Amino acid sequence: MELFLESGYTSLNKKGEELCGDKVEQINCNGYTTLVLADGLGSGVKANILATLTSKILCTMVSNNIDMEECVSTVVQTLPVCKVRQVAYATFSVIHINEQGEGYLFEFDNPEAILIRNGKCTDFDRKEYNILGKKVYGTRLRLRAEDYIVLMSDGVIHAGIGMLLNFGWLRKDVMEHLDRNLKPGMSARGVACMLAGACNDLYLGKPGDDTTVAVLRVREKYPVRIMVGPPVEKDKDDFYVERFLSGEGKKIVCGGTSSQVVARYLGEKVNASFEFPDKDVPPIGYINGIDLTTEGVLTLRKLLELSEIYLSNSDLTPKRSNKKDGASLLANMLFEDATHVTFFVGQSINAAHQGLPIDITMKLKLVESISNNLKLMGKVVELNYD
């Protein structure tokens, strides 16, 4: 079984602050993913600078296989200590893990990370280390498919203090909330937004502290292949379609002409749906042997809009849509389900678009923008032009 590491995070800024005092940094290098969540003391510009510095130092050092003790020593000696409270200017959680789910986690003064296994929250087996007088907790990781690690800043367990709750949201309450609301197959970003959204509700939409949730999920590889438009040379249709269909994974066809070309190759018909779940998105179609068939440019334009919303740090809505229009179905498959996305982009000029403000350049730009956003989501993207 081939595993894939998926990550996602979101942050709430303390009310009245333009900058967040928490910072998440990630590096993927030599088969390892290094993920750091740092929380700068206080809020605003100073906290943001301290958290940024801490996360950059740790991520760079850890990804270069420098041991935990040296990494922590470097940060402790680099950052000042608050003279009044005698506490460090930044706290942090660090994950360093390979694609087999093996690696380590170490934490300094952030709320303890949570392991979700078999859909239920549990604690890590942590070991205490003393590094330059600081208590740092380390954990050896041996994760398996559908395990999640949830990292959080203390804004999560402070949520609701003096508002809806007297003493904030205790860590056990956070775990109970995750147990109740986690759905099978939920993406790392989906889990992060779900938990941050609950914190935002407890803060009544006015966070009293910077609040960040970062999630790493170990999951099985899930490839998706998507064909957009027929090739320039019509006599290569069969070769092009055969190559598209021959690879592993779910198959998506976008565009009326593409649908006809694929259906003809398969000896099937395109059956159009006459339902309009969204008036701005043309209806989908059905071809036996194809997982999803949609219209082309208008659906892709809507998909690009949805990808911008998905990536927005301020959007805490559920990441998996219940809508049945072509763009929403595409978004679920590409944003939530896929780990690897392979595009087959035909550059043939569509006769049906003659005289309309739609040209091949627009389609290519849409595909390029969508693929860039998929990369920002952590997907492995490949583009093939014909």
Residue ranges of the domains in the chain?
3-220, 223-385
pTM: 0.91
302 phi and psi, to 5 degrees? -65, -40
From the centroid of its chain, how far is CA 280?
26
* Predicted pLDDT of residue 347: 78
Length of the chain: 386
- DSSP three-state, residue 142: strand
Q: Residues with Cβ < 8 Å from 330, sequence gap 6 or more? A: 252, 254, 292, 294, 299, 303
Which residue has tokens 């350049």? 361
- Are 185 and 218 in contact by the 8 Å Cβ rule? The answer is no
Q: For residue range 236-251, list pLDDT tens digits in order.
A: 889 999 999 999 999 9
> What percent of the chain stands above pLDDT 70?
92
pLDDT higher for 356 or 125? Answer: 125
Q: Does domain 3-220 have CATH number 3.40.50.2300?
A: no
* Cβ atoms of residues 54 and 83 within 8 Å: no
Tens digit of each residue's pLDDT (9 = 90 or more) over 165-175 = 556 688 999 99
**Closest among 74, 156, 172 to 123, alpha carbons compared:** 172
b/e for 9-31, b at 16 or more Cβ within 10 A? bbbbbbeebebbbbbbbbbeeee
What average pLDDT does range 11-37 have in this prediction? Answer: 94
Q: Are 343 and 363 in contact (CB under 8 A)?
A: no
pLDDT bucket at 213, cuts 50 / 70 / 90 = very high
- Taking a C-beta distance cutoff of 8 angstroms, is the pair 272, 287 a contact? no
pLDDT at 237: 87
With bands split at pLDDT 50, 70 and 90, how would you rate the model's confidence at 81? low
pLDDT digits (tens, 9 = 90+) for 31-68: 899 999 999 988 889 899 999 999 999 999 999 999 99
Which of 52, 35, 61 lies closest to 90, judged by CA?
52
* pLDDT tier, 162 (very low <50, low <70, confident <90, very high otherwise): low
Across 96-111, average pLDDT: 95
Cα first-last separation, the chain: 32
pLDDT in tens, 188-205: 999 999 999 999 999 999
Given pLDDT bands bounded at 50, 70 and 90, which one contains residue 15?
very high
Amino acid making up residue 16? G
CA distance 172 to 122: 10
Q: Which residues of 100-133 are buried (b: 16+ CB within 10 A; e: fewer)?
A: eeebebbbbbbbbbbbbeeeebeebebeeeebee
